[in-house]
Amino acid sequence: MSIKDRDLSSIQEVRDLVEKAKNAQKELKLKSQKEINEIVKAMADEAYKESDRLAKMAAEETGFGVYEDKIVKNKVASKSVYEYIKDMKTIGIINEDKERKVVEIATPVGVIAGLVPSTNPTSTAIYKSLIAVKSGNSIVFSPHPSALNSIKEVVDIMQKKAEELGAPKSILNCTTIPHMDGTSALMKHEDVDLILATGGSAMVKAAYSSGNPALGVGPGNVPAFIERTADIDLAVKRILDSKTFDNGTICASEQAIVTENIIKNQVKKSLLKQGAYFLNSVEKEKVGATIQKPNGSFNGKVAGKSAKDIATMAGIKVPDGTRVLIAEETGVGIEYPFSREKLSTVLAFYSEEDWMSGCDKCIELLNYGGLGHTLVIHSKDEDVIREFALKKPTSRILVNTPSAQGAIGATTNLVPALTLGCGAVGGSATADNVGPLNLIDIKRLAYGVKDVEDLNEEFGQSSSNNTCKIEDDSNKDLDIEKITKLVMEQLKNIK
């Protein structure tokens, strides 16, 4: 295939896959909840079993992160996600309020376009496959080119297992000719009903401007505040455990530590003891020039790299066993490279007079590329914790937990997810950890409980001459179950 034809081939492949996915979804939506549950369980079990191999593929193909940590991410994406969604009602009648006479009926959105980043390729593909099928949808993946093979392998093994349980072919699909024109064609395709986009801000903006409904989540610039009442050593441990997890590739990992002057030296001492390295002024300048290009954009070559690798790239030497590189900082913005999202084992360090000014600094950091995403606070003071929660423009405020693992629901009781909504403030259509319920529409069957005369009487309005009173016994002894069963039979032929 010539380079000049690659764009056209990519577009044609997208068209073919969307058509297959649409036909497959027409069959899938006729499955019962029980049948869907069995398919999803088999898919999750298969992905869990293959977690090790898939992690190795992702690490070798992308060059990002830590192989062992990718295994954990794959297991969270398969087992943890499955355990959370297994009993969830997503097909047919999902709620019935007999007293209020309202019946809620779930309908799948249809064909989903799934955009997958290179930083978390296999785990994201596993997770999106499970939540798509659980909600009765088919999905077409557009993988990041540098993670194509590992993402396609996830799709292949899960599709094969789904078919063994009676799922139609092509409920899971993956493009094999990655090209920007192909991805654009996928997002704009008239038969794509929803875009589930995880990745950089440019890609997320493209998803929202495609003309199709989208759930897009972009970058995080997560501050971790250590307040004076915190268990300092434990807080530092949690931050470093999070920041070094898969070498910082999860967008919810900490990007800056903010603390109070009164405990600054204790925090620094604990960081040094646990493997952090504080850069001097010369080293800071070299590393800053390495993580950020002269035009102010992020240098993707440092993403998912170890502290030692980044030090080597910057031309500096650090002690053996260094886990994280830290630069003391005061400002926020393009002139301060360490204040940005870094997706690697690099942190900024700020110290403020008290928790109130620390709170302001955290907001400043969030405004610089992290609005709506995540913030962490380490504290034993519930009043301060609540004040942070009330003031912060984020969708997740995590307390005394590693941010990377906490935000995705691994160390908290949040919905286990690899797509983390940032809410309206962050330019996202949802603030949720995205799950199956975000991928369905809910129809409401509502029976009349009042007549016009009842409204007039309720609001003290005299009846007009255009109404007449007729005794209506249609809702007496109403058999809702029988009626909803008849309605469901008719809905099978409707999207």
- Could you please report the per-residue DSSP string of 36-64? HHHHHHHHHHHHHHTHHHHHHHHHHHH--
Beta carbons within 8 Å of 146's beta carbon, 6+ residues apart: 61, 62, 118
Task: Name the residue among 153, 206, 192 with its Cα closest to residue 176.
Answer: 153
Candidates 313, 301, 376, 380; CA nearest to 342 is 301
Query: Alpha carbon of 380 to those of 45, 266, 385: distances in Å?
Result: 39, 17, 8
- Residue identified by tokens 């709506």 is 372
Query: Are 314 and 334 contacting, i.e. CB atoms less than 8 angstroms apart?
Result: no
Residue found under tokens 């764009």? 7
Residue with tokens 């975000």: 438
Q: What count of other Cβ atoms lies within 10 Å of the Cβ of residue 387?
A: 15
Structure tokens at 335: 């002139």
Kindly state the tokens that stand for 176. Answer: 């094999």
Cα–Cα distance for residue pair 266/158, rounded to 1 Å = 49
Distance CA 83, CA 113 (A): 24
Give the catalytic positions in this structure. 251
Query: By the 8 A CB rule, do 31 and 154 touch?
Result: no
Amino acid identity, position 163 = E
Residue 190 corresponds to which amino acid? E
> In this structure, what are the phi and psi dihedrals at residue 177, rounded to the nearest 5 degrees?
-120, 75
Name the maximum alpha-carbon separation found in the chain.
91
